[in-house]
Structure 1
């Protein structure tokens, strides 16, 4: 990719994120609006991103990837990998709720496109917890068991609250849910370090 193309692509993503911060309804964001603000043609956006949904997914995904990277860089890991996992999940949920307007869109895109980055991001921590007791497939399955209920709670917080009594928008209740979820799944999957 040429430098000008890369600069334009990055500018398009930055403008998209700025617009997403300003709007209440993500569906009202248009490619033309993004193009005008980024000072590029609509054709260039279509060339780089193909569809508006793809652009929005990439932009939101970049925010979440950067947030995860910062968490890994900033987090001082302890000798208690289960607590580290809980801490990471709690921080990711906090970030997700900070971007609440984009969260449903992002989760729908991830699930419908088969994006398993969230699950894969916790596999290294699970490897620390289980050591050589679990193979790669088992670790990935455990990651899916942990991430899926969190995604469901985020997609439909009201329904989740009706079912569980847990208000995921309440930090204390959300953190308690994550503690219980991780403990139940980790302890239920056998020997841990």
Structure 2
């Protein structure tokens, strides 16, 4: 699946872009905001209840599980039902879990303390400033590096003897670095000057 161009064309034109569930992330965020602004007391009461804690750790588990599943691995080629279920529900489940954990961060629990400590760190501020430029650019380094990696592993298998996870980790690392460098350039040459015009 990873190197099958027909699969990628089908994946992005049919499954990724045209799913009826593609707006699930937006709906999850809207539902979370609705309950926070219009039912805050009931929401806080639920978040501190037993079932609220169960949902808290289930949400965390869902995020980890969906990040861990090797859905573009050749091992998943025979798991057609699992692939269909993943494509249908993964974005909505992931978005719902993230929205729920965002609400959890408003309450006091061990997980919310850890998440608040992690996500409120000043380390993230520069990346937050670059996030839109990174969003615009990230696809290009990934596509180029995946193609280069696949070609290298096919032509020189003894030299580039990587497992799926090793190859994906290296591509992710290199793509992230290239994306950040490109985003910094766009931010300094385009975004920042335009923001300065408002002053």
* TM-score > 0.5 by shorter chain: no
Please, what TM-score do these two structures have when normalized by structure 2? Answer: 0.28
Query: Scaled by the length of structure 1, what TM-score is found?
Result: 0.28
